[in-house]
């Protein structure tokens, strides 16, 4: 990148918010996936006006721009595959307004999810989407990937809570989508189009979001199964019981044992564990719902169960669930978490088929599976050593089996909440076909005719995406 462009960026954002330091560039040129890119410059804007000037400059000179929050993406989403500018948004982190009467909060994209909920808690409200990285994930990043989490079964994903967006388009134009009203059909739903767009259409600089009353009552029950298929059948039973629980999570044996070691907690011997939780504002209703879920799950034949009678017991259950990924990551040189979805009735078959994948690659990878089973969203987590060419090849073969033979034949999706990024680009065409890819390319050209926004990866590129070597 020419020095005069970097100087212009310094003029726009300030000397301290523009960096070409090699260490900063290295750190901000990767996420939680294994891929590594290399930016030319890191810029930390502090206002919509700065973002608009930066994008206008980049567009004039055809410089790639990669919006980035905290970098918790695990699909290579913000990685700069063509050099250019990494636009780090965490300095735009103000909670601007809380309209309690309209149950709306206005924030900037760098606000951390947990920080927002800490702000809302004294008022008795919360923002329901809860990704596993909520202690670091920014609202902007959650919008970019349409983050879900453990409460998505009942409360929906990020897009379901976004009322309006302020967005800077690649030429520097600032637009606002949506409205403050609960209903509006006066335009195409551009707000939802930007949700899960993975930074390919523009940069979100302000968000108007709905919030919900925080539940007063919770009921949580843990089930243990000696057979993975039975656990899957319990999920189907609960989902068809007439109750929509707040959460319905599964943890397989490998993940259970690893998380138990990691947390120092003891768990019964089992091949799978389910966590079922109901919540609400009326205690009798919450209790009745957990009773219905309990009877439904019991029909699948658990070997043991435990009703969490206290908040401490409930927190222990969630501690195990939230420990799955960090615990597995400590067991292996390389840890890749996948993000598949299948229709809920297909969950039992999918669980069993995933369990058999390591055998098909000579056990050169192992897999721990856990996830939001209630909405069909599983996270098979692959453990291997990327430094070993044989294991690396086995990993790629195993993921191909996962998507081509387990997920897509069941009418599933290659990603439910983590995004396409680099990691899943090669499977987009398999799921949607060439015509849909071309349609997405056309949409991107309308917003970004010079293709500067997070180029050559994600939904519009499919098999054309640039995939750096591991």
CATH number at residue 283: 3.40.462.10
Residue 462 within a domain = no
Which secondary-structure segment (H or E) carries 390? helix 389-401
DSSP string of 77-128, one letter each residue: TT--BTBSEEEE-TT---EEEEETTTTEEEE-TT-BHHHHHHHHGGGTEE--
Q: Region 308-337: what's the mean pLDDT?
A: 93
Q: What is the pLDDT of residues 51-88, one digit of tens each?
A: 999 999 999 999 999 999 999 998 889 999 999 999 99
Report d(CA 442, CA 168) in Å as an integer: 19
- Per-residue pLDDT tens for 207-255? 999 999 999 999 999 999 999 999 999 999 999 999 999 999 999 999 9
DSSP 127-145: ---B-TTTTT-BHHHHHHH
> Over 90: is that where the pLDDT of 463 sits?
no
Among 31, 59, 88, identify where a domain stops: 88
* H/E stretch holding 114: helix 113-120
415 within a domain of the structure (yes/no): no
Stretch 391-419: mean pLDDT, rounded? 97
Residue 469 has pLDDT above 90, yes or no: no
Tokens linked to 106: 């206005």
Q: Both 130 and 267 in a single domain? A: no
Whether 446 is covered by a domain: the verdict is no
Using a pLDDT cut of 90, give the percent of the chain over it.
92
pLDDT for the residue 3: 94
Q: Is residue 421 part of a domain?
A: no
Q: Taking 60 as the threshold, does the pLDDT of residue 175 lie above it? A: yes
Instruction: Assign 32 a pLDDT band (cuts: 50, 70, 90).
Output: confident
- Give the model's pLDDT for residue 132: 87
Geometric angle at alpha carbon 179, from 176 and 184, rounded to 5°: 125
User: Is residue 466 included in any domain, yes or no?
Assistant: no
Question: Which of 59, 56, 66, 64 is CA-nearest to residue 11?
Answer: 56
pLDDT given at position 66: 98
**One domain for residues 269 and 394:** yes
HSE toward the beta carbon, residue 362, CA cutoff 13 A: 6
- Location of structure tokens 């735009």: 92
CB atoms inside a 10 Å sphere around CB 256: 24
- What is this structure's pTM? 0.94
36 and 155 part of one domain: no
C-alpha–C-alpha distance, residues 317 and 314, integer Å: 5
Residue 444 lies in a domain: no
* 208 shares a domain with 224: no
**Domain match, 314 and 221 both:** yes
Do 156 and 263 lie in a common domain?
no
Residue 240 sits in the same domain as residue 106: no
Nearest residue to 459 via CA among 447, 470, 407: 447
470: confidence class by pLDDT, cuts 50, 70, 90? low
- According to the model, what pLDDT value does residue 197 have? 97
The CB density around residue 210, as the number of other CB atoms within 10 Å, is 17
Strand 85-88 relative to strand 41-43, pairing: parallel
- Same domain? For 253 and 356 the reply is yes
Residue at 418 is within a domain: no
Looking at 410, 435, 451, which one is the last position of a domain? 410
Query: Does pLDDT of 467 surpass 80?
Result: no
Residues 203 and 294 in one domain: no
**Residue 470 domain-assigned (yes or no):** no
What range defines the domain where residue 258 resides?
Answer: 217-410
In the predicted model, what is the mean pLDDT of residues 393-402? Answer: 96
Domain boundary among 57, 88, 119: 88
Question: CATH no. for residue 197?
Answer: 3.30.465.10
Beta strands in 155-246 (DSSP E): 162-168, 174-178, 203-210, 212-213, 217-225
CATH number of the domain residue 43 falls in: 3.30.43.10
Mean pLDDT to the nearest integer, 416-427: 92
My answer on whether 169 and 80 are in the same domain is: no
As for how many domains the chain has, the answer is: 3
For residue 190 the two structure tokens come to 């551009």
Phi, psi of 199 (to 5 degrees): 75, 15
Tell me if 321 sits within 8 A of 273, measured CB to CB.
no
pLDDT tens digits for 324-381?
Answer: 999 999 999 999 999 999 999 999 999 999 999 999 999 999 999 999 999 999 999 9
The answer on 152 and 115 residing in a single domain is yes
Average pLDDT over residues 198-203: 97
Tell me the pLDDT band of 457, cut-offs 50, 70 and 90.
confident
Q: What pLDDT is recorded for position 88? A: 98
Q: Are 366 and 284 contained in the same domain?
A: yes
Q: What was the pLDDT predicted at 74?
A: 86
Tell whether the model's pLDDT for residue 416 goes beyond 80.
yes
Mean pLDDT, all residues of the chain: 96
């Amino acid at each position: 990148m020419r020095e005069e462009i970097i100087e212009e960026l310094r003029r726009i954002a300030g000397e301290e918010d523009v960096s070409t330091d090699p260490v900063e560039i290295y750190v901000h040129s990767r996420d939680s996936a294994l891929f590594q890119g290399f930016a030319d410059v890191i810029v930390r804007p502090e206002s919509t006006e700065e973002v608009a000037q930066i994008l206008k400059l980049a567009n004039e000179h055809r410089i790639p721009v990669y919006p980035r929050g905290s970098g918790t993406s695990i699909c290579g989403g913000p990685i700069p595959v063509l050099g250019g500018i990494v636009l780090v948004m965490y300095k735009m982190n103000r909670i601007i307004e809380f309209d309690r009467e309209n149950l709306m909060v206005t924030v900037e994209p760098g606000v951390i999810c947990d920080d927002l909920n800490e702000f809302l808690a004294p008022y008795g409200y919360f923002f329901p989407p809860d990704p596993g990285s909520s202690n670091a994930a920014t609202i902007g990043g959650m919008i970019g990937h349409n983050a879900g989490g453990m409460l998505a079964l009942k409360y929906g994903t990020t897009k379901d809570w976004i009322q309006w967006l302020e967005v800077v388009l690649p030429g520097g134009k600032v637009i606002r989508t949506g409205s403050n009203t609960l209903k509006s059909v006066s335009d195409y739903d551009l707000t939802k189009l930007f949700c899960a767009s993975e930074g390919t259409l523009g940069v979100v600089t302000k968000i108007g979001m709905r919030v919900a009353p925080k539940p007063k009552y919770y009921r949580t029950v843990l089930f243990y199964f000696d057979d993975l298929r039975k656990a899957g059948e319990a999920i189907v039973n609960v989902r068809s019981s007439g109750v929509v629980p707040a959460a319905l999570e599964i943890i397989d044996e490998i993940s259970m044992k690893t998380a138990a070691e990691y947390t120092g907690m003891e768990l019964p011997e089992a091949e799978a564990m389910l966590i079922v939780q109901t919540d609400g504002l009326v205690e009798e209703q919450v209790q009745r719902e957990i009773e219905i879920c309990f009877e439904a799950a019991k029909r699948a034949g658990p070997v043991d169960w435990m009703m969490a009678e206290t908040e401490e017991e409930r927190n222990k259950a969630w501690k195990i669930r939230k420990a799955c990924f960090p615990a597995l990551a400590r067991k292996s040189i390389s840890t890749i978490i996948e993000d598949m979805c299948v229709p809920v009735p297909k969950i039992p078959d999918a669980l069993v088929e995933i369990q058999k994948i390591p055998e098909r690659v000579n056990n050169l990878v192992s897999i721990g599976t856990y996830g939001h089973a209630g909405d069909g969203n599983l996270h098979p987590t692959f453990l291997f050593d990327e430094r070993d060419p044989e294991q690396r090849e086995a990993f790629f073969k195993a993921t191909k089996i996962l998507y081509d033979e387990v997920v897509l034949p069941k009418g599933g999706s290659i990603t439910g909440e983590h995004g396409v990024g680099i990691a899943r680009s090669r499977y987009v065409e398999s799921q949607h076909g060439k015509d849909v890819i071309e349609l997405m390319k056309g949409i991107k050209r309308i917003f970004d005719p010079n293709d500067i926004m997070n180029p050559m990866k994600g939904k519009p590129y499919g098999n054309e995406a640039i995939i750096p070597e591991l």
